[in-house]
Amino acid sequence: MTATPGAHRYEVAAPDGGWGWAVVFASFLATSLCGGSIYSFGVLYVAYLDEFERSKAATAWIGSIFTCTFTFAMSASLGLSHKIGHRATVMLAGLVSSIGLALTSFASNIYSVYITHGLITGFGFGMGYMPGIDIISVYFKKRLSLALGLGMAGTGAGHFVLSISGQALFDIYGLHGTLMILSASVLNLCVAGALLRPLGEHHTAVVDVPVRCDDNEGHEIDDTNSQAVSDKASVNESIDDAKTSLEEIQDIQSKSTVARSRKKLTCKSVVHSCISFMYDIQLMTEPVFLAMVFIAMLQTFGQYAGAAHMVMRVRDYGISDSKSAVIPAVMGLAQMIGRPLYGFIGNCFSIRPTLIYSVGMSLCAITTAVSVLVKSFTVQLIYVIVFGMSLGGYKVYIPIVVSHFFGPKKLGYGTTFLSQVHGVLGLLVSPLIGWMRDVSGGYDGAFWVISAAYLLGALVSLLLPLVDKLVKRRRSSMQTDDS
């Protein structure tokens, strides 16, 4: 850390290694348990249909409630992490999600599952997902892209493992037994949380103490006794004045604090406090971030809606059920490989993050268009592999791009809000894709829209540095005019 004369600071430099790799492993474990649960809900969806014998729409509400709760719990977890620490937040998430799954195993009707799986388990998994990603930005700076790629690869790993093992568990233990096994498994979030040790616990902090420098250094000093006594008296007088001023300031501050505490809490102040706890309001006024929100809206078409309808589209092409069932597992494995691969590329080569971000979306657009034109199983399998790797790759660069423009302290808030945009719009876009399929009799038109959305998002991402430059130039001009 570079010391700055005349300033008090308490900072710890990112070690870019050491215990940071244990933090990366903890993040991988947390994202595999939490993130993988979203993509693998299709396995539980079938089991819930057989168990409760309700309509597909009524059963699908479990996943919808779970996704909404998951995304909004991410904001709460970030605010909680800054209050009680990342470690305690993830460990608490493990307990909540384990209790939610255990209660679901005893549910006798689907309305109970709405609460136990949709709300309680969704809130627990949402709390456990973001803190591990947020703390990586504290431990890494130069290797941030690689560390995030490895940590976030857990989502693809969880998707792959749960897709493969879920059906086998149901066949052996049934729904209730499987939920109890999952309840015990997610307690590993407590293990992951225990590894999220704060950086200050094992690195020595440096405090810069202001030092007063004598401008007349090297000049001849009058060493008479009268001058020394005069200087000493002057110093003592200054100290006494400083003490008096400090006491007056403290007295004013204490009175102001008491006055504020006596003020009646209004509904507006409570809402503002809650929003400030979960979100960074200033970040949402930045033009560059608003452009990233627009990109996130475009990404939603392929990220959730396209992935949800991918298997059904393959079946419409006349491909057998046994082959189409491989698609989700292959996509999860591709994401698991793509995230560290994209992170490695960004770490080893001096490439602007927005460029890699754009390349990932461009590959998604191109492969989606090819999959519509060529409908053989081989091409669809290649499409899923490239699409999954690119999807996982550009998602890794969402926090990196946020950190690039706004600094690592904004990484968690920015990534969380963009993930919520994905989750909320995903609930609307997925039925829209299904409606387009029912109207047109096929998925071709819908997937052309997905391809166009990705292509537009890639073009906008290339303009982010230009927008940032224009904003900084305008603010600099305004400051000059004010001065």
| pLDDT above 90: residue 51 | no
pLDDT value for 189: 92
| pLDDT above 80: residue 240 | no
| CA dihedral over 195, 414, 305, 463, signed as positive or negative | negative
Residue partners of 291: CB distance under 8 A and separation at least 6: 460, 463, 464, 467
Amino acid at 389: M
Residues 59 and 191 in one domain: yes
Residues 48 and 143 in one domain: yes
| Alpha-carbon span 158 to 336, nearest angstrom | 9
Does any domain span residue 31?
yes
Residues 450 and 323 in one domain: yes
Higher per-residue confidence, 34 vs 203: 34
| pLDDT above 70: residue 310 | yes
pLDDT value for 441: 83
Residues 291 and 415 in one domain: yes
**Residue 201: which CATH number?**
1.20.1250.20
* Closest of 414, 396, 417 to residue 405, by C-alpha: 414
Residue partners of 384: CB distance under 8 A and separation at least 6: 310, 327, 330, 331, 334
Residues 292 and 161 in one domain: no
| pLDDT above 90: residue 457 | yes
- What's the pLDDT tens digit per position in 419-433? 888 878 877 787 788
Distances (CA, A) of 375 to 122, 150, 229: 36, 33, 95
Residues 289 and 191 in one domain: no
pLDDT value for 370: 93
Does any domain span residue 264?
no
- What's the pLDDT tens digit per position in 171-213? 888 888 989 998 999 999 999 999 998 876 544 444 444 444 4
Does any domain span residue 236?
no
Q: Using 50, 70 and 90 to split pLDDT, how confident is the model at 79?
A: confident
| pLDDT above 80: residue 302 | yes
- Tell me whether strands 10-11 and 206-207 are parallel, antiparallel or unpaired: antiparallel
Question: 432-435 long-range CB contacts below 8 Å, 24 or more apart?
Answer: 432/305, 433/301, 433/305, 433/306, 433/308, 433/309, 434/309
Task: Share the mean pLDDT of the chain.
Answer: 79
Q: Which of 152, 187, 209 is the last residue of a domain?
A: 209
pLDDT value for 290: 94
- What's the pLDDT tens digit per position in 132-167? 888 998 899 888 888 888 888 888 788 778 777 777
Residues 33 and 137 in one domain: yes
- What's the pLDDT tens digit per position in 315-328? 888 888 777 778 87
pLDDT value for 269: 63
- What's the pLDDT tens digit per position in 332-343? 788 888 888 888
Residues 194 and 304 in one domain: no
**For residues 155 and 32, is the Cβ–Cβ distance under 8 A?**
yes
Q: Which of 193, 209, 225 is the last residue of a domain?
A: 209
Residues 199 and 306 in one domain: no
**For residues 197 and 87, is the Cβ–Cβ distance under 8 A?**
yes
User: Quick one: which H or E segment has residue 11?
Assistant: strand 10-11
Global confidence as pTM: 0.71
Does any domain span residue 231?
no
Does any domain span residue 222?
no
| pLDDT above 50: residue 5 | no
Percent of the chain at pLDDT exceeding 90: 27
SS3 120: helix
User: Which tokens in the block code for residue 261?
Assistant: 């505490």
Residues 165 and 313 in one domain: no
Q: Which of 187, 209, 231 is the last residue of a domain?
A: 209
| pLDDT above 80: residue 439 | yes
Q: What is the mean pLDDT of residues 122-135?
A: 90
| pLDDT above 50: residue 351 | yes
List the domain range (segments joined by +) for residue 431: 284-469
- What's the pLDDT tens digit per position in 81-113? 888 899 999 999 999 999 999 999 998 888 999
pLDDT value for 248: 55
Does any domain span residue 310?
yes
Residues 152 and 51 in one domain: yes
Q: Which of 53-57, 59-63, 97-101, 391-395 has the lowest mean pLDDT?
A: 53-57
Distances (CA, A) of 61 to 32, 54, 55, 110, 426: 23, 11, 10, 10, 13
pLDDT value for 266: 66
188: burial class by Cβ within 10 Å (0-12, 13-18, 19+)?
middle
Does any domain span residue 398?
yes
Does any domain span residue 430?
yes
User: Quick one: which H or E segment has residue 28?
Assistant: helix 20-39
Q: What is the mean pLDDT of residues 352-377?
A: 92
Other beta carbons within 10 angstroms of residue 205's beta carbon come to 12
Residues 318 and 441 in one domain: yes
Percent of the chain at pLDDT exceeding 70: 79
| pLDDT above 50: residue 54 | yes
pLDDT value for 258: 46
| Alpha-carbon span 355 to 231, nearest angstrom | 63
User: Which tokens in the block code for residue 211?
Assistant: 């030092």
Domain count, the chain: 2
| pLDDT above 90: residue 463 | yes
